Amino acid sequence: MKQKKQIIIFTDLDGSLLDKETFKFDEIKDYFKELISKGIKIIPNSSKTESELTDFNEQYKLNLTFISENGSSIHGLNFINKDLPDKISLSRPVDQIISIYNEIIPNDLKQKINFILKLNVKEQKKIFGLPQDKMILAKNRNYSLPIQFKGNEIEKNEFVKIINDVGLTVQTGGRIMNICDNVNKSKAMLKTLQLIRKELDDEIITIGVGDNENDIEMIKQSHYPCLVMNENFNSSLINIDNLIKSTEPSPKGWADVIKTAIQKIET
């Protein structure tokens, strides 16, 4: 008997699925839900917090498995199979990351770093670009430290090297940088697939969608890598042979690359 295909879409949200300014995807919402109704699994894989992604599920009346804070934790695998866990943490808690940061970063570099959660509300709102109620959810971080780096490129490279040398990472997204544990979207995606494959006999086909630097490894690990147009990101630097690229930004660009990927799968 021919093995059944299960398509799983791992997708970034801001700038990939969601409009960069409004953080909505209303114009393709019907298509998004149509994909789910056809049995396609959609797993947001985002720098957003657990609180934000739970809110996303509630806002759109969804039960999506999701990966939060740049691969720090996986949630809702039991939505895919009841024998899978509700939550898996892949990261040390944020207080441990703060402790390591305070110990290893020299004072001259600390002067170049702004902890976004310590800024006043007006400055935070400008950085996050979110209304007050959504910003509260964005600040509820369990595993990562959002920062702004004010130094030059040499200082930034020095900072990243120090962080990497102690087993932490710096994840760069659209608006901010995050100090994280040794995690990323790709590692969390592969862990998610490993767990799903234990419970599903289907042939799993993955589509990965992103728009920025911290999405690239996740995209590379997908059978059908997709990049949504981002005018602030130089996509020519990405060397992926079968990359599907949109000519429009999110959310329409998301629908365009998904349609192309599914058409390739079905032919």
Q: What is the tens place of the pLDDT at every residue in 104-146?
A: 999 999 999 999 999 999 999 888 888 889 999 999 999 999 9
- Does residue 172 surpass a pLDDT of 60? yes
* Cβ-based burial of 234 (10 A; exposed 0-12, middle 13-18, buried ≥19): exposed
- Does residue 247 surpass a pLDDT of 80? yes
5-38 pLDDT, tens digit per residue, is 999 999 999 999 999 999 999 999 999 999 999 9
Q: Does domain 5-89+184-266 have CATH number 3.20.20.100?
A: no
- Does residue 1 surpass a pLDDT of 60? no
In whole angstroms, what is the distance from residue 252 CA to residue 249 CA?
6
Enumerate the β-bridge partners of residue 149. Answer: 113
Q: Which residues belong to CATH 3.40.50.1000 in the chain? A: 5-89+184-266
Which pair of tokens denotes residue 266? 């079905």
Q: Which residues belong to CATH 3.30.980.20 in the chain? A: 94-180
Which pair of tokens denotes residue 175? 């608006």
In whole angstroms, what is the distance from residue 16 CA to residue 238 CA?
16
Contact 202/4 with Cβ under 8 angstroms?
yes
Contact 236/217 with Cβ under 8 angstroms?
no
- Predicted model pTM: 0.94
Reported as half-sphere exposure (CB side, CA atoms, 13 A), residue 9 has a value of: 28
Integer CA distances (angstroms), 113 to 50, 69, 104, 107, 128, in order: 25, 20, 14, 10, 17
In whole angstroms, what is the distance from residue 169 CA to residue 22 CA?
29
Q: Count CB neighbours of 243 within 10 A.
A: 15
In whole angstroms, what is the distance from residue 14 CA to residue 202 CA?
30
Name the pLDDT band for 154 (thresholds 50, 70, 90): very high
Q: What is the CATH number of domain 94-180?
A: 3.30.980.20
